[in-house]
Structure 1
Amino acid sequence: MRGVAITGMGIVSGLGSGAAAHLEALRSGRSGLGPLTLFSLPGLAPAPVGQVDEALLQGIHGSRSVALALLAARQAMGGAGFAEPGVLAIGTTTGGIQESEQHYLKHRGQAGAEERELLRYHSAGTIADVLSADLRLSAERHTFSTACSSSANAIGHGASRIMRGAPWALVGGVDSLCRLTYCGFHSLKLLASAQCRPFDRNRQGLNLGEGAAFLLLENEEHARRRGASILGYVAGWGCSADAYHITAPHPEGLGAVAAMKAALADAGLSPSDVDYVNAHGTATPANDKAEALALEALFPGEGPLVSSTKGATGHTLGAAGAMEAVFCVLAMQASHAPATVGLSEPESQFRVRHVPPGGVDTPLRVALSNSFGFGGNNAALVLTRSES
């Protein structure tokens, strides 16, 4: 089973804007991490972030999250228009809270405070409303907020709706940098003060990032009737809940294993069919260990090539699943498995087949994309290559 056709992709991150820029960055091993300049945090030690270049958002109105989402969604749509109603599914964790923070810091909750426009985008669901209006889409709208698996679940939901008869779905995720997430991860002692090192023996924590990514999904016959190019397929989706701890994953990765197995079963594939895994790979001690154990349990032999792209983008939270789904499609199109930026000394206790430095040029037909969030919110996507 090939699954649901992907006919458009859009992406923006600290690496730049558009699929071509991101493929070039993955091939070259470039990192989009740098100093935080979007806002100041007096009293907190600086840490690298994957901040989007302000110039890319010029002329796009709305909150920062809305602007990021619009840029990526317009790329994914590529000017396509649909007469039939479809599906719009978005994953996010913070919505428009960056602007809400600005309002609070200026007015401190005073009655009659001015600049109420800053609060217009506070609700996470507002992003889908704005996209629907801007792109003139007739679509049922869904917003997923399941921590770092949010946009992976949005993609899976959109694909499942197409399997049940919807003609098209625009699916993806967005999150912008904000004080809440930066200070929250700082308080949990999960931020690295330098470049993050996924799966490295010297890893010290994650780097935050921001961005957006969207996929345009269609029934394959629908896509071919309108002459659309097929970039790949969403073949399977699986999700699970650890219910182990409010932030920590199950130490043996049991929920992660369940999500990956469910995604492969949904695709009608076995672990031996997987050529590449885009790991959740946040570079925190607990998460990388749990995911490594989960991968060992699922792939008892040599296993597929594995890498994390968060060393290039930072952890973009609700947008991560969608961004990494785009990375999987790009890797399959280019027949190139990207290396993990920041990984220099792999943790010896992890039996994981890491992509070597510089990446590997090899045919990739099946990719597994992992997104594991706080609270044990796990999701996995199986993506397959288009031969057209």
Structure 2
Amino acid sequence: MTQAPGDVVLIGGGHTHIQVMTAFGRRPEPGLRLVLISDQTHAPYSGMLPGHLAGLYRRDEMLIDLAALAEATGTTLILARATGLDLARRQVLCDGRAPVDYHLASIDVGIIPDLSGIAGADRDGLAVKPIGSFLARCDAILGAAVDEGRLRDVAVVGNGAAGVELAFALAARLRARAQASPPARITLIGSGPVVATLNAGVRRHIHRALDRHGIARRDGVRIVAVEAGAVVTATNERIAADTVLISTRARPPRWLGETGLELSQDGSVATAPTLLAMGREDVFAVGDCATILEHSREKAGVFAVRQGPVLARNIRRRWRGEELERHRPQTAYLVILMTGDGRAIAGRGAWLAAEGRLVWWLKDWIDRRFMARFQTAI
């Protein structure tokens, strides 16, 4: 490619893109300018969300200051919401401002809740993603409900890893505000077994921890509607719920489907192992909004984090006209779920399962080490 000055436009301040910013901040590429388009000045780190809800982290400890990071790394920050791509003109379309030209672009816009199968969920439920809006609404809803003594039943819909941690976090939060009397009941509801993707040993630890915290389980139950005071199952059973938090399936933003980029079956951008969008030489896609077709994996933050250094190197290589590095995500990876009481549960592959305070110490150390990379000067 040409060595004349050009712009790499990073669309979204996700876990992968913030690593690209720090990489180029430490070692700029001659002639290459970084531009970040984000509709928020602070990006939450999803790994610390449950701990924050449980009262273990302050809000600022789980937020990455994108404005400060951009200034420190020499990245131009454009505060706007991306709404599309014009591939022919090489432009990012934005809401309320002129299009942004790019030489190379990268998409890291995450996923949003897919509430299409749950009637009333958008009105009476509280979706976990996007995290920024969830935090504001969660604080307001739970705070008012507890203070006014009208929080009796909480339903967490979705019993994957995120839903389980959310239930533990809520239990810890409500214990800390013991003035809620009688204590609220928390019910974890899912259409399949609890965290079905993890090994049997981990699931046993999770079951015991849920029992220890008094969290009820309803496995094999599909929720089809949320209404005032209850969630409704596919068999028309009503489960009492003053507050409904939803951590079920999610989907990429719909505008990705209007770009002309090839999509995978779940609507995410289909990419090659180089992280380039299929059939493109100028657009990368990473994180939850993308799928490497040759190595499809479930959506998890660990994959976005691991893609960061690869994307940074491949942007340099693409700019220089060099061969790109191929990325193969790991098939077995460490999962650590906090239980909100100074303990955590860990699992990896088909056999590793552990629980205890040392596991929580490990998770806390991993998360704080990751965040420290973006909360200090470059």
- Give the TM bin, normalised by the shorter chain: under 0.3
TM-score, length-scaled by structure 1: 0.27
Higher RCO, Cα 8 Å, sep 6+:
1
